[in-house]
Structure 1
Amino acid sequence: MLRWLSWNSQHFYRYGGLLYFEHLIKPAIGLGAPDSAKVAEAQGWFRKHAGVLDRHLKGRKWLLGDQMSIADFSVGVTLPYAASAKMPLDEFPEVMRWHDRLSELQAWRDPFPSRQAQAVAA
């Protein structure tokens, strides 16, 4: 578990988070358009690390085998924003399959329910 948490913070999340920042955060807070050089570099590193993850997930249900763990949530945290952050996720079928499995969880698909939905549930 610790291996994946550490790997994620230094590799996968690092570059997925940079793409998220460049494409979503910067424009939202008025810092201008994405820096194309930073985006290209981050996409290159993202591809490298997504390849590692893709190979590891082959034949596995979850990162650590048959049981979901905190490592799955930690490593997958940026992936709900992959399309809008221009992460080249579609190049990695095992990562997409694994993330689709995470997305079967309602709380993963909709982590911030509206106030109206919260009131109805109460």
Structure 2
Amino acid sequence: MNLALWIAAGLLAAVAVSGGISKTFVPREKLAVIRGGGWTADVGAGFVRTLGILELLAAVGLIVPAVLDIAPVLVPVTAVCWILLMVGAMVTHGRRGEAAFVVLNLFYLVVAAFIAWGRFGSWPFAG
């Protein structure tokens, strides 16, 4: 189970890095024309960039605390924060009628819930 939790955290961290880089460094106008990125036209550039930075921090929080064995409880805490972020993403895409992205965000939410459940529960990092 420990291996499955590591794989889930790694996959979710990769998703977070990808989304974080695009939201932080790609201009909002370019994001707005990409499939699933239309919501960025409705919000400010600062908001998009802030979400990108949060996603980059999430990628770090899902991996680094456990690897360095410094406050590894931050891994499931980060997973819970990711769950909240995905709820917001699902609401945003749902309002825009983008069902495929709602399902994709639901999948990411389930992966994060698995990490939180496992690391808060029976498979915490050994200290």
Question: What interval of TM-score do these two structures reach, taking the shorter chain for normalisation?
Answer: 0.3 to 0.5
> What's the TM-score once normalised by structure 2's chain length?
0.32
> What's the TM-score once normalised by structure 1's chain length?
0.33
More helix by share: 2
